[in-house]
Structure 1
Amino acid sequence: MASWVLCMILLLAALPEALGETRYGKFQRQHVDNPRTSVRPALRYCDTMMMRRQMAGPTVPCKFRNTFVHTPAGDLVAACYRTPNNDGTYSTSYAMSITVCTRNGGAAWPCNYRIRQARHYVRVNCEYGRPVHLNSTATTP
Structure 2
Amino acid sequence: MVMVLSPLFFVFMLGLGLTPLTLAQDDHRYRRFLSQHYDPKPKGRDDRYCESMMKRRKLINPCKDVNTFIHGKKNDIKAVCGDSNGKPYRDNLRISKSPFQVTTCKHKGGSLRPPCRYRATKAYRVIVIGCENGLPTHFEESFIPPSQ
Report the TM-score range of the alignment, normalised by the length of the smaller protein: 0.7 to 0.9
Q: d(CA) in 2 for partners of 1:77 and 1:116?
A: 23
TM-score scaled by length of structure 2:
0.73
1:109 is aligned, of 87, 105, 114, to 114
Secondary structure in 1 aligned to 2:62? coil
Query: 1:68 maps to which residue?
Result: 69
Structure 2 counterpart of 1:51: 55
- Higher Rg: 2
**1:1-141 to 2 correspondences below 5 Å:** 22-36=28-42, 38-39=43-44, 42-56=46-60, 60-82=61-83, 83-105=87-109, 106-140=111-145
Q: How far 1:140 sits from its partner (Å)? A: 2.3
Unaligned ranges ≥5, structure 1: 1-11
Q: What is the deviation of 1:93? A: 2.4
Deviation at 1:73, TM superposition (A): 1.3
Question: In structure 2, how many angstroms separate the alpha carbons of the residues matched to 1:45 and 1:22?
Answer: 26
- Tell me, in whole angstroms, the C-alpha distance in 2 between the residues paired with 1:31 and 1:102: 14
Q: CA deviation at 1:87?
A: 3.2
Off by >4 Å, runs of 4+ in structure 1:
none
Residue 84 of structure 1: CA displacement? 1.1
Are 1:32 and 1:72, in contact at CA under 8 Å, matched by a contact in 2? no
Residues matched between the structures, number: 119
CA displacement 1:104-139 (0-9 Å, x = unmatched): 122111100011111100110001110000111122
1:42 CA drift (Å): 3.9
Q: Helix, strand or coil for the counterpart of 1:54?
A: coil
The CA distance in 2 between the partners of 1:119 and 1:63, in whole Å, is 22
Superposed CA RMSD: 2.2
Give me the TM-score of the superposition, normalised by structure 1. Answer: 0.77
